[in-house]
Amino acid sequence: MNTVVAGITYRALLGRRRIVLLLLLPLALIALAIMLRLFGGNDPHSAELLMDNFAIAVMLPLLGLIAGTGVIAPEIDDGTIIHLMSKPISRPVIAQTKFLVAASLMAVFAAVPTYFSAWLLVGNEDGLAAGFALGALVAGFAYVAVFLLLGTITRHAVTIGIIYALLWETVVGTVVPGAQKFSIQQWAKSIAVQISDNPFLDTNVTLGFAVPALIIVTLGAVLWAGQRLRVFALTGDE
Amino acid sequence: MSEIYDIGYRHYDGPRLGRGYSTRALTVHSLRGVFGLGRTARSKIMPFALGVIMLLPAVVSIAMMALIKQHGMSYSSFAVSMQTVLAIFLASQSPTVVAPDLRYRVLPLYLSRPVAIAEYVTAKVIAMTVALFLLIALPMTLIYVGELLIDLEGPPQTKEYLGALAMALVLALLLSSFGLAIASLTPRRGLGVASIIAVYLLASASVPVIYGTLQSAGNTSGALWAWLVNPFWLVDAVQVWLFDTTPNALDGSGYPPGPAPAIIVVVLIAIGLAALAARYRKAAAQ
């Protein structure tokens, strides 16, 4: 963890237009929760639907994509990463610092709004709010780690990330049930199921698979991203 | 004592091809850019991969018609059911149309030619519209040709096919005017991709929630309007109104009756184009 690198990364993410996108999604989630509450949809079923369809399936991967690629891809894209990499800072430490920055953003912009909007609908009933907030937090870490790695591997990180988050996790996941085992969303849900006893919530990935998978993916992606930075060719590979 | 040398610069006195020619050239150049033609092999991967995915349902449809003599996917539902792929294509390719010119600040070079902002924007919108239209129309045409060749029972669904083609054009125009307007806000490609997909997902994911809420509140006619938040269902609603096709909304729900969706589409296209023109007027002044 290098505080200077962390400070630069925070400024790059929060000082530009990217913050509009980071704010837009959680605000939309809270707006939907308020609308549901006003129209009398504050029952456990619609709360579960909102959490499942919007918070976990849409907001989380998108925020992960924006935060995870946002901490590193623009710098690689416009070449300013050279200034960072030519300093005597271990490159894996740079990758770890950037991961921590992105992870903290996920906690603020994904987990907190998830808890708040579920709480708006059902309060602390069935532990739904806590379950989804924890699921969003842990899966958020995994998402930013994976997208950080993607950002160091390819210049099309955002597009590939979208294809993973949309096509793999939703379309392929619903058609081929086995693919759901390899979906960060499903791991998040399996944690939510464990904590919450909401009757409408259900998953087909066991906790015994989800937790090790989340840990391995997160740690593996961060370490691999550090490795990618170590062997990064400053001249670019095109 | 100084002397002026004649170093042989010559005037151009050949034909001047004019405004229309340069706009056409820019359109073709942008259209080739959408598919990565004339660029590196890497930039061809994404558009062509998505194009191949769009062709898969056509292949399945033709196989179904040939083997079990049944219609596969209907023409009117094609764009709606492939909306995720189309949205990804729009998101990943619209920044390639507008971002590089903004990023490398070459806009003054274009505008010093007979191309004005209106022509520049028109060329970019036409290029993206044609690209999206090709993506939808090509598989549909394949299915139609397959239908004619296989010769199923009953007359060919020519009217539905032509109607779906017309709506594909409207959809392409709506998507590209909005996609380019969003993409032109940032010179960064990655951020442009993320913004477009975020706007699409916000629109599409909030529909079931709004619909479900209004439905459970007993406001059934109001709930129908929720579908119009998603651009694909909005255009489908226009198709239902114009060509009397079956609605493709989930749960077998219909759309609000009457010309309202068509008016919304026209207004949205106008807003998208106006935003794009305003953005470029500002960018050109920088």
Model pLDDT, residue A238: 45
Domain residue limits, chain A: 3-230
Task: Count the domains in chain B.
Answer: 1
Is B194–A65 a contact, with Cβ atoms under 8 angstroms apart? yes
Is A28–B212 a contact, with Cβ atoms under 8 angstroms apart? no
Is A57–B205 a contact, with Cβ atoms under 8 angstroms apart? yes
Structure ipTM: 0.82
Residue B69 vs residue B252, higher pLDDT:
B69
Select the residue from A48, A117, A143, A159 to test the B interface by mutation, using most B Cβ atoms within 10 A.
A159
In a domain, B9, yes or no: no
- Nearest partner of A138 among A198, A217, A214, A234, judged by Cα: A214
Over residues B82-126, the pLDDT tens digits come to 888 999 999 999 999 998 888 888 888 888 888 889 999 999 999
The B-side interface with A (CB below 8 A) comprises 40, 42, 46, 84-85, 87-88, 91-92, 185-186, 188-191, 193-195, 197-198, 201-202, 205-206, 208-210, 212-214, 216-217
Q: Can you give the pLDDT of all 238 residues of chain A as single tens digits?
A: 889 999 988 988 887 677 888 888 899 899 888 888 887 666 777 788 788 888 888 889 889 998 998 888 888 887 888 888 888 989 999 999 999 999 999 999 999 999 999 888 888 777 888 888 999 999 999 999 999 999 988 878 888 888 888 777 766 666 777 777 888 888 888 888 888 777 777 777 788 888 999 999 999 999 999 998 888 876 654 4
CA distance A211 to A207: 6
Q: Cβ contacts (< 8 Å) between B214 and chain A: which residues?
A: 39
pLDDT of B268 > 70? The answer is yes
Question: In this structure, what token pair is assigned to residue B59?
Answer: 């292949």
Residue A46 vs residue B186, higher pLDDT:
B186
In a domain, B80, yes or no: yes
Is B198–A25 a contact, with Cβ atoms under 8 angstroms apart? yes
3-state secondary structure chain B: CCCCCCCCCCCCCCCCCHHHHHHHHHHHHHHHHHCCCCCCHHHHHHHHHHHHHHHHHHHHHHHHHHHHCCCCCCHHHHHHHCHHHHHHHHHHHHHHHHHHHHHCCCHHHHHCCCCCHHHHHHHHHHHHHHHHHHHHHHHHHHHHHHHHHHCCCCCCCHHHHHHHHHHHHHHHHHHHHHHHHHHCCCCCHHHHHHHHHHHHHHHHHHHHHHHHHHHHCCCHHHHHHHHHHCHHHHHHHHHHHHHCCCCCCHHHCCCCCCCHHHHHHHHHHHHHHHHHHHHHHHHHHC
In which band, very low, low, confident or very high, does the pLDDT at B253 lie, cut at 50, 70 and 90?
confident
CA distance A32 to chain B (A): 8
User: What share of chain B in percent tops pLDDT 70?
Assistant: 99
Question: In this structure, what token pair is assigned to residue B68?
Answer: 């079990």
Whether pTM > 0.90 for this model: the answer is no
- Nearest partner of B133 among B212, B65, B31, judged by Cα: B31
In a domain, B1, yes or no: no
CA distance B234 to chain A (A): 20
- Residue A15 touches chain B, beta carbons under 8 Å: no
In a domain, B7, yes or no: no
CA distance B148 to B154: 11
